[in-house]
Structure 1
Amino acid sequence: GHEVVGVDGEPSPEAVRRLDRHIVADLDAGLPPEVTGEFDVVLVADVLEHLRDPGALLQEVQGRLRPGGRVVGSIPNFAHWYPRVRVASGLFDYDARGILDRGHLRFYTRRSFRRLCEGAGYRVVDLDAAGLPVEVFQRGGAGVAGPVLSAIGAVDRVLARLRPTLFAFQFLFELEAQDQPSADAASRSQSAASDEATSLVAEGA
Protein backbone atom coordinates (compact mmCIF):
# COMPACT_ATOMS: atom_id res chain seq x y z
CA GLY A 1 0.00 0.00 0.00
CA HIS A 2 0.94 3.64 -0.35
CA GLU A 3 -0.31 6.65 1.59
CA VAL A 4 0.12 10.11 0.03
CA VAL A 5 -0.35 13.28 2.09
CA GLY A 6 -0.45 16.66 0.31
CA VAL A 7 0.13 20.15 1.71
CA ASP A 8 -0.91 23.14 -0.39
CA GLY A 9 -1.48 26.83 0.19
CA GLU A 10 -4.92 26.75 -1.41
CA PRO A 11 -7.83 24.29 -1.52
CA SER A 12 -7.69 21.96 -4.52
CA PRO A 13 -10.62 19.68 -5.43
CA GLU A 14 -8.33 17.68 -7.72
CA ALA A 15 -5.81 17.12 -4.91
CA VAL A 16 -8.62 16.02 -2.59
CA ARG A 17 -9.63 13.39 -5.14
CA ARG A 18 -6.09 12.15 -5.78
CA LEU A 19 -4.53 12.19 -2.30
CA ASP A 20 -5.22 10.18 0.82
CA ARG A 21 -5.07 13.42 2.83
CA HIS A 22 -5.01 17.03 1.62
CA ILE A 23 -3.99 19.76 4.08
CA VAL A 24 -4.26 23.49 3.38
CA ALA A 25 -1.45 25.38 5.10
CA ASP A 26 1.16 28.12 4.66
CA LEU A 27 4.53 26.37 4.41
CA ASP A 28 6.29 29.61 5.36
CA ALA A 29 4.98 28.81 8.84
CA GLY A 30 6.49 25.30 8.66
CA LEU A 31 4.79 21.94 8.40
CA PRO A 32 1.26 22.08 9.83
CA PRO A 33 0.48 20.02 12.96
CA GLU A 34 -1.82 17.80 10.89
CA VAL A 35 1.28 16.34 9.22
CA THR A 36 2.29 13.51 11.54
CA GLY A 37 4.53 10.48 11.33
CA GLU A 38 7.50 9.77 9.07
CA PHE A 39 7.76 9.58 5.29
CA ASP A 40 9.71 7.57 2.73
CA VAL A 41 9.57 10.36 0.16
CA VAL A 42 8.89 14.09 0.47
CA LEU A 43 8.13 15.85 -2.82
CA VAL A 44 8.82 19.59 -3.03
CA ALA A 45 8.37 20.33 -6.75
CA ASP A 46 8.24 24.06 -7.55
CA VAL A 47 7.94 24.88 -3.85
CA LEU A 48 11.20 26.11 -2.34
CA GLU A 49 11.51 29.20 -4.56
CA HIS A 50 8.15 30.44 -3.21
CA LEU A 51 9.24 30.41 0.45
CA ARG A 52 10.85 33.13 2.55
CA ASP A 53 13.12 30.60 4.29
CA PRO A 54 13.34 27.35 2.28
CA GLY A 55 16.27 26.15 4.38
CA ALA A 56 14.09 26.11 7.50
CA LEU A 57 11.49 23.93 5.76
CA LEU A 58 14.18 21.54 4.50
CA GLN A 59 15.54 21.17 8.03
CA GLU A 60 12.08 20.47 9.42
CA VAL A 61 11.33 17.95 6.67
CA GLN A 62 14.53 16.06 7.48
CA GLY A 63 13.13 15.26 10.91
CA ARG A 64 10.16 13.56 9.23
CA LEU A 65 12.15 11.22 6.97
CA ARG A 66 12.27 7.52 7.66
CA PRO A 67 15.71 5.84 7.51
CA GLY A 68 16.65 5.81 3.83
CA GLY A 69 14.03 8.47 3.05
CA ARG A 70 14.56 11.01 0.28
CA VAL A 71 13.50 14.53 -0.59
CA VAL A 72 12.86 15.01 -4.31
CA GLY A 73 11.73 18.04 -6.24
CA SER A 74 12.61 20.76 -8.72
CA ILE A 75 14.10 24.26 -8.58
CA PRO A 76 14.31 26.93 -11.33
CA ASN A 77 17.80 27.74 -12.65
CA PHE A 78 18.52 31.46 -12.30
CA ALA A 79 21.76 31.02 -14.27
CA HIS A 80 19.70 30.13 -17.38
CA TRP A 81 20.47 32.34 -20.37
CA TYR A 82 17.08 34.12 -20.19
CA PRO A 83 17.49 35.73 -16.72
CA ARG A 84 21.12 36.51 -17.62
CA VAL A 85 20.07 38.45 -20.70
CA ARG A 86 17.34 40.25 -18.76
CA VAL A 87 19.70 41.31 -15.96
CA ALA A 88 22.48 42.28 -18.40
CA SER A 89 19.94 44.49 -20.18
CA GLY A 90 19.02 46.19 -16.91
CA LEU A 91 15.61 44.49 -16.78
CA PHE A 92 14.77 42.54 -13.64
CA ASP A 93 11.02 42.46 -14.01
CA TYR A 94 8.84 39.51 -13.07
CA ASP A 95 6.91 37.39 -15.58
CA ALA A 96 3.53 35.69 -15.35
CA ARG A 97 5.30 32.31 -15.17
CA GLY A 98 8.66 30.67 -15.65
CA ILE A 99 11.97 31.33 -13.92
CA LEU A 100 10.99 34.93 -13.11
CA ASP A 101 7.49 34.00 -11.94
CA ARG A 102 5.87 36.72 -9.82
CA GLY A 103 5.51 34.28 -6.94
CA HIS A 104 9.22 33.47 -6.71
CA LEU A 105 10.92 34.89 -3.64
CA ARG A 106 14.22 32.99 -3.88
CA PHE A 107 16.50 32.44 -6.87
CA TYR A 108 19.17 29.74 -7.16
CA THR A 109 21.94 28.60 -9.45
CA ARG A 110 23.14 25.01 -9.35
CA ARG A 111 25.99 25.96 -7.02
CA SER A 112 23.94 28.10 -4.62
CA PHE A 113 21.23 25.43 -4.43
CA ARG A 114 23.84 22.87 -3.39
CA ARG A 115 24.95 25.24 -0.64
CA LEU A 116 21.35 25.62 0.53
CA CYS A 117 20.89 21.85 0.76
CA GLU A 118 24.22 21.19 2.46
CA GLY A 119 23.56 23.99 4.93
CA ALA A 120 20.23 22.36 5.79
CA GLY A 121 21.97 19.05 6.53
CA TYR A 122 21.50 17.19 3.24
CA ARG A 123 23.67 15.39 0.75
CA VAL A 124 22.76 16.00 -2.91
CA VAL A 125 22.30 12.51 -4.38
CA ASP A 126 21.22 13.69 -7.83
CA LEU A 127 20.86 17.03 -9.60
CA ASP A 128 19.65 16.65 -13.19
CA ALA A 129 19.18 19.39 -15.76
CA ALA A 130 15.75 19.74 -17.36
CA GLY A 131 15.03 21.80 -20.46
CA LEU A 132 12.21 24.20 -21.25
CA PRO A 133 8.80 22.59 -20.50
CA VAL A 134 7.39 23.16 -23.99
CA GLU A 135 4.33 21.07 -23.17
CA VAL A 136 3.10 24.03 -21.09
CA PHE A 137 2.97 26.15 -24.24
CA GLN A 138 1.40 23.35 -26.30
CA ARG A 139 -1.71 23.01 -24.16
CA GLY A 140 -4.66 23.85 -26.33
CA GLY A 141 -2.39 24.60 -29.29
CA ALA A 142 -3.00 23.46 -32.84
CA GLY A 143 -1.50 23.51 -36.31
CA VAL A 144 2.20 24.17 -36.81
CA ALA A 145 2.81 25.26 -33.21
CA GLY A 146 2.90 21.66 -31.98
CA PRO A 147 5.67 20.34 -34.29
CA VAL A 148 7.69 23.55 -34.05
CA LEU A 149 7.59 23.62 -30.25
CA SER A 150 8.41 19.91 -30.11
CA ALA A 151 11.51 20.51 -32.23
CA ILE A 152 12.54 23.46 -30.07
CA GLY A 153 12.04 21.33 -26.97
CA ALA A 154 14.21 18.51 -28.35
CA VAL A 155 17.07 20.91 -29.13
CA ASP A 156 16.71 22.59 -25.75
CA ARG A 157 16.94 19.26 -23.91
CA VAL A 158 20.21 18.44 -25.71
CA LEU A 159 21.65 21.86 -24.84
CA ALA A 160 20.56 21.46 -21.21
CA ARG A 161 22.51 18.20 -20.98
CA LEU A 162 25.59 19.68 -22.67
CA ARG A 163 25.65 23.02 -20.81
CA PRO A 164 23.34 22.68 -17.81
CA THR A 165 24.40 25.92 -16.12
CA LEU A 166 23.43 28.00 -19.15
CA PHE A 167 20.55 26.03 -20.68
CA ALA A 168 18.84 24.08 -17.89
CA PHE A 169 15.42 25.64 -17.27
CA GLN A 170 15.27 23.90 -13.91
CA PHE A 171 17.08 21.24 -11.90
CA LEU A 172 15.47 18.04 -10.67
CA PHE A 173 16.99 17.00 -7.37
CA GLU A 174 17.16 14.11 -4.93
CA LEU A 175 18.43 14.66 -1.39
CA GLU A 176 19.24 12.49 1.61
CA ALA A 177 20.21 13.40 5.15
CA GLN A 178 23.97 13.79 5.62
CA ASP A 179 23.92 11.46 8.62
CA GLN A 180 22.06 8.69 6.79
CA PRO A 181 23.46 5.15 6.90
CA SER A 182 24.64 3.55 3.67
CA ALA A 183 22.00 2.93 1.01
CA ASP A 184 22.06 -0.86 1.57
CA ALA A 185 21.76 -0.57 5.34
CA ALA A 186 18.98 1.99 5.04
CA SER A 187 17.13 -0.23 2.58
CA ARG A 188 17.30 -3.21 4.94
CA SER A 189 16.16 -1.10 7.88
CA GLN A 190 13.31 0.43 5.91
CA SER A 191 12.08 -2.95 4.65
CA ALA A 192 12.16 -4.40 8.13
CA ALA A 193 10.28 -1.44 9.59
CA SER A 194 7.38 -1.34 7.15
CA ASP A 195 6.11 -2.73 3.88
CA GLU A 196 3.87 0.31 3.43
CA ALA A 197 5.35 3.39 1.81
CA THR A 198 4.30 6.88 2.84
CA SER A 199 4.81 10.09 0.86
CA LEU A 200 4.41 13.77 1.64
CA VAL A 201 3.70 16.12 -1.24
CA ALA A 202 4.27 19.85 -0.70
CA GLU A 203 2.66 21.72 -3.56
CA GLY A 204 3.87 25.03 -4.96
CA ALA A 205 1.91 27.99 -6.23
Structure 2
Amino acid sequence: MNWRQFTVALVQALAWPSVVAVVLLAYRRRIAQLLGDNLRRLTVGPIAAEWERVAEETRATIDAVESLPTSEEGAAAPSEAQQLLRLARVLVRLNPSLSIVKSWQASRVAFEDHLPMDDEEFREVRTLRPMLKRAIARGLIKSEAGLVFEQLQTLAFMADRVEGQKPTAEQAEDYLRLVEAFLALLAADTKAGEGANKTA
Protein backbone atom coordinates (compact mmCIF):
# COMPACT_ATOMS: atom_id res chain seq x y z
CA MET A 1 0.00 0.00 0.00
CA ASN A 2 1.48 3.35 -1.01
CA TRP A 3 0.92 6.67 0.77
CA ARG A 4 -1.98 7.66 -1.53
CA GLN A 5 -3.92 4.46 -0.79
CA PHE A 6 -3.19 4.91 2.91
CA THR A 7 -4.53 8.51 2.83
CA VAL A 8 -7.72 7.45 1.01
CA ALA A 9 -8.30 4.59 3.51
CA LEU A 10 -7.73 6.96 6.44
CA VAL A 11 -10.18 9.57 5.08
CA GLN A 12 -12.80 6.86 4.50
CA ALA A 13 -12.36 5.54 8.04
CA LEU A 14 -12.64 9.00 9.60
CA ALA A 15 -15.40 10.38 7.36
CA TRP A 16 -18.47 9.44 9.43
CA PRO A 17 -17.03 10.19 12.88
CA SER A 18 -15.82 13.56 11.58
CA VAL A 19 -19.22 14.45 10.14
CA VAL A 20 -20.94 13.49 13.41
CA ALA A 21 -18.45 15.55 15.45
CA VAL A 22 -18.92 18.61 13.20
CA VAL A 23 -22.73 18.34 13.37
CA LEU A 24 -22.67 17.97 17.15
CA LEU A 25 -20.37 20.98 17.51
CA ALA A 26 -22.38 23.11 15.10
CA TYR A 27 -25.74 22.32 16.70
CA ARG A 28 -24.69 21.82 20.30
CA ARG A 29 -26.90 24.63 21.69
CA ARG A 30 -29.96 23.38 19.84
CA ILE A 31 -29.32 19.79 20.97
CA ALA A 32 -28.87 20.99 24.57
CA GLN A 33 -32.21 22.84 24.36
CA LEU A 34 -33.97 19.77 22.99
CA LEU A 35 -32.56 17.46 25.64
CA GLY A 36 -32.84 20.00 28.49
CA ASP A 37 -32.16 18.48 31.90
CA ASN A 38 -31.65 15.04 30.38
CA LEU A 39 -28.36 16.18 28.88
CA ARG A 40 -26.83 16.38 32.33
CA ARG A 41 -28.09 12.92 33.18
CA LEU A 42 -26.77 11.63 29.87
CA THR A 43 -23.27 12.90 30.56
CA VAL A 44 -23.19 11.80 34.19
CA GLY A 45 -24.79 8.42 33.62
CA PRO A 46 -26.03 6.23 36.49
CA ILE A 47 -24.40 8.47 39.09
CA ALA A 48 -27.06 11.13 38.41
CA ALA A 49 -29.90 8.82 39.41
CA GLU A 50 -28.06 7.79 42.59
CA TRP A 51 -27.25 11.43 43.37
CA GLU A 52 -30.90 12.43 43.02
CA ARG A 53 -32.06 9.58 45.28
CA VAL A 54 -29.54 10.38 48.03
CA ALA A 55 -30.21 14.12 47.75
CA GLU A 56 -33.95 13.49 48.11
CA GLU A 57 -33.37 11.27 51.16
CA THR A 58 -31.15 13.97 52.65
CA ARG A 59 -33.82 16.64 52.16
CA ALA A 60 -36.45 14.37 53.74
CA THR A 61 -34.13 13.62 56.66
CA ILE A 62 -33.49 17.33 57.27
CA ASP A 63 -37.25 18.01 57.23
CA ALA A 64 -37.86 15.16 59.67
CA VAL A 65 -35.07 16.26 62.03
CA GLU A 66 -36.33 19.84 62.01
CA SER A 67 -39.78 18.57 63.01
CA LEU A 68 -38.43 16.79 66.11
CA PRO A 69 -39.83 18.39 69.27
CA THR A 70 -37.37 20.34 71.38
CA SER A 71 -37.18 19.66 75.08
CA GLU A 72 -39.41 21.93 77.14
CA GLU A 73 -37.90 24.43 79.51
CA GLY A 74 -37.35 22.94 82.96
CA ALA A 75 -37.58 19.38 81.65
CA ALA A 76 -34.53 17.17 81.87
CA ALA A 77 -32.58 17.14 78.62
CA PRO A 78 -32.71 13.77 76.88
CA SER A 79 -29.54 11.71 77.01
CA GLU A 80 -27.44 11.22 73.90
CA ALA A 81 -28.81 7.68 73.55
CA GLN A 82 -32.40 8.98 73.74
CA GLN A 83 -31.66 11.65 71.13
CA LEU A 84 -30.19 9.02 68.80
CA LEU A 85 -33.25 6.80 69.30
CA ARG A 86 -35.61 9.69 68.50
CA LEU A 87 -33.68 10.33 65.30
CA ALA A 88 -33.73 6.60 64.47
CA ARG A 89 -37.51 6.56 64.96
CA VAL A 90 -37.91 9.44 62.49
CA LEU A 91 -35.69 7.71 59.93
CA VAL A 92 -37.39 4.28 60.03
CA ARG A 93 -39.49 4.91 56.89
CA LEU A 94 -37.27 7.53 55.23
CA ASN A 95 -33.96 5.68 55.43
CA PRO A 96 -34.08 2.27 57.17
CA SER A 97 -30.30 1.75 56.86
CA LEU A 98 -29.51 5.01 58.60
CA SER A 99 -32.18 4.29 61.22
CA ILE A 100 -30.40 1.04 62.10
CA VAL A 101 -27.05 2.84 62.28
CA LYS A 102 -28.47 5.46 64.67
CA SER A 103 -30.18 2.77 66.78
CA TRP A 104 -26.90 0.88 67.07
CA GLN A 105 -25.11 4.08 68.04
CA ALA A 106 -27.74 4.63 70.74
CA SER A 107 -27.13 1.17 72.19
CA ARG A 108 -23.37 1.70 72.15
CA VAL A 109 -23.62 5.12 73.82
CA ALA A 110 -25.97 3.72 76.48
CA PHE A 111 -23.60 0.80 77.10
CA GLU A 112 -20.57 3.09 77.49
CA ASP A 113 -22.56 5.48 79.71
CA HIS A 114 -23.38 2.48 81.91
CA LEU A 115 -19.67 1.83 82.58
CA PRO A 116 -17.35 3.76 84.89
CA MET A 117 -15.24 5.19 82.05
CA ASP A 118 -13.12 7.12 84.55
CA ASP A 119 -11.91 3.72 85.81
CA GLU A 120 -8.48 3.00 84.29
CA GLU A 121 -9.49 -0.58 83.51
CA PHE A 122 -12.08 0.71 81.02
CA ARG A 123 -10.20 3.76 79.79
CA GLU A 124 -7.38 1.66 78.36
CA VAL A 125 -9.75 -0.60 76.39
CA ARG A 126 -10.59 0.66 72.92
CA THR A 127 -12.82 -2.08 71.49
CA LEU A 128 -16.27 -3.20 72.58
CA ARG A 129 -15.74 -6.92 73.08
CA PRO A 130 -13.02 -6.66 75.75
CA MET A 131 -14.95 -3.81 77.38
CA LEU A 132 -18.06 -5.99 77.49
CA LYS A 133 -16.14 -8.96 78.97
CA ARG A 134 -14.69 -6.77 81.73
CA ALA A 135 -18.09 -5.25 82.49
CA ILE A 136 -19.67 -8.71 82.84
CA ALA A 137 -16.73 -10.00 84.93
CA ARG A 138 -17.06 -7.05 87.33
CA GLY A 139 -20.84 -7.46 87.58
CA LEU A 140 -21.56 -4.09 85.98
CA ILE A 141 -23.76 -5.71 83.36
CA LYS A 142 -25.55 -9.05 83.41
CA SER A 143 -24.37 -11.70 80.98
CA GLU A 144 -27.85 -11.79 79.39
CA ALA A 145 -27.72 -8.05 78.61
CA GLY A 146 -24.17 -8.57 77.29
CA LEU A 147 -25.41 -11.28 74.93
CA VAL A 148 -28.19 -8.98 73.67
CA PHE A 149 -25.61 -6.23 73.07
CA GLU A 150 -23.43 -8.60 71.01
CA GLN A 151 -26.46 -9.71 68.98
CA LEU A 152 -27.42 -6.09 68.31
CA GLN A 153 -23.90 -5.48 67.02
CA THR A 154 -24.16 -8.51 64.73
CA LEU A 155 -27.52 -7.37 63.33
CA ALA A 156 -26.21 -3.85 62.70
CA PHE A 157 -23.17 -5.28 60.93
CA MET A 158 -25.39 -7.53 58.77
CA ALA A 159 -27.66 -4.62 57.83
CA ASP A 160 -24.67 -2.56 56.76
CA ARG A 161 -22.70 -5.25 54.92
CA VAL A 162 -25.15 -7.42 52.95
CA GLU A 163 -24.36 -6.77 49.27
CA GLY A 164 -27.22 -5.57 47.11
CA GLN A 165 -29.82 -5.73 49.89
CA LYS A 166 -30.96 -2.78 51.92
CA PRO A 167 -32.89 -3.24 55.15
CA THR A 168 -36.63 -2.63 55.02
CA ALA A 169 -38.57 -0.21 57.20
CA GLU A 170 -40.00 -3.21 59.08
CA GLN A 171 -36.49 -4.48 59.86
CA ALA A 172 -35.44 -1.01 61.02
CA GLU A 173 -38.54 -0.81 63.25
CA ASP A 174 -37.82 -4.26 64.67
CA TYR A 175 -34.18 -3.34 65.34
CA LEU A 176 -35.27 -0.12 67.06
CA ARG A 177 -37.55 -2.10 69.38
CA LEU A 178 -34.69 -4.48 70.21
CA VAL A 179 -32.45 -1.54 71.11
CA GLU A 180 -35.18 -0.06 73.31
CA ALA A 181 -35.48 -3.42 75.08
CA PHE A 182 -31.69 -3.49 75.58
CA LEU A 183 -31.78 0.00 77.11
CA ALA A 184 -34.53 -1.21 79.47
CA LEU A 185 -32.25 -4.11 80.51
CA LEU A 186 -29.43 -1.65 81.24
CA ALA A 187 -31.77 0.55 83.25
CA ALA A 188 -32.92 -2.47 85.26
CA ASP A 189 -29.26 -3.39 85.93
CA THR A 190 -28.62 0.18 87.13
CA LYS A 191 -31.62 0.14 89.49
CA ALA A 192 -30.64 -3.29 90.85
CA GLY A 193 -27.09 -2.04 91.45
CA GLU A 194 -28.34 1.11 93.22
CA GLY A 195 -30.66 -1.01 95.39
CA ALA A 196 -27.77 -3.30 96.36
CA ASN A 197 -25.61 -0.29 97.27
CA LYS A 198 -28.33 1.15 99.54
CA THR A 199 -28.73 -2.12 101.46
CA ALA A 200 -24.97 -2.57 101.89
Highest RCO, 1 vs 2 (Cα 8 Å, sep ≥ 6): 1
TM-score by length of 2: 0.22
Q: Which has the higher helix share?
A: 2
* TM-score for both structures, normalised by structure 1: 0.22
Q: Which structure shows the higher strand fraction?
A: 1
